[in-house]
Amino acid sequence: MTIQVGDKLPDMPLAIATPDGPQQTTTSEYFGGKKVALFAVPGAFTPTCSARHMPSFVEKAGDLKAGGIDEIACVSVNDPFVMAAWGERDGSRDITMLADGNGEFSDAIGLSMDGAKFGMGKRSQRYSMLVNDGVVEQLNVEAPGEYRASSAEHMLEQMQTS
């Protein structure tokens, strides 16, 4: 069952990719007590993720934070070392890179996908969500092969109209 607006995130392990190596956390720890703009990608360094998705959040980080967002985070079913390298290359200090190494978080919220036909195995679907103290306030899941609803621009539009 896919997570819905109004649902609390399940307490799952994640790793924060830092310059000093992986820092273990849980969704309860990371999302507790703050408003987080979370976006998920099928894979670090993949074409749409690197050329469009990450850049939209890098470019709009200031606007999101001015709109009341405490943190911006990117999650992917990749290891924390890959997420750290991608964050260093394409991200910014405004974006926390979260590794869902085994896809447990993606599975628990019903947003994993099978990328085996592309040689990628289990991955996350592309989506964005606004999470306030662990509760989903917005959820934007992309149709397969699409990129629009999960962009930072779309999230900002939703924030301005809600």
Q: What is the pLDDT of residues 51-94, one digit of tens each?
A: 889 999 999 999 999 999 999 999 999 999 999 999 999 889 99
Domain coordinates in residue numbering, the chain: 13-161
Residues facing 75 on adjacent strands = 40, 98
What pLDDT does residue 120 have?
A: 74
More confident position, 1 or 146: 146
Catalytic residue (one of 9, 14, 17, 49):
49
Residue 151: per-residue pLDDT = 96
Amino acid at 73: A
Name residues whose C-beta falls within 8 Å of residue 100's C-beta, 6 or more positions apart in sequence. 12, 14, 75, 76, 77, 78, 106, 124
| Neighbouring C-beta atoms of residue 52, cutoff 10 Å | 13
Q: What mean pLDDT is reported for the chain?
A: 93
- Specify the pLDDT at position 119: 67
Told to judge if 49 belongs to the known catalytic residues of this protein, a careful annotator would answer yes
User: What gap in Å lies between CA 37 and CA 95, rounded to an integer?
Assistant: 10
Give the pLDDT score at 116: 74
End-to-end CA distance of the chain: 26
Q: Please tell me the predicted confidence (pLDDT) of residue 43.
A: 86
Beta strands in 10-153, from DSSP E residues, in sequence order = 13-18, 21-26, 35-41, 71-76, 95-99, 112-114, 122-124, 127-132, 135-141
- Domain 13-161: CATH superfamily is Glutaredoxin (3.40.30.10)
Q: What is the pLDDT of residue 91?
A: 85
> Is residue 47 very low, low, confident or very high in pLDDT (cuts 50, 70, 90)?
confident
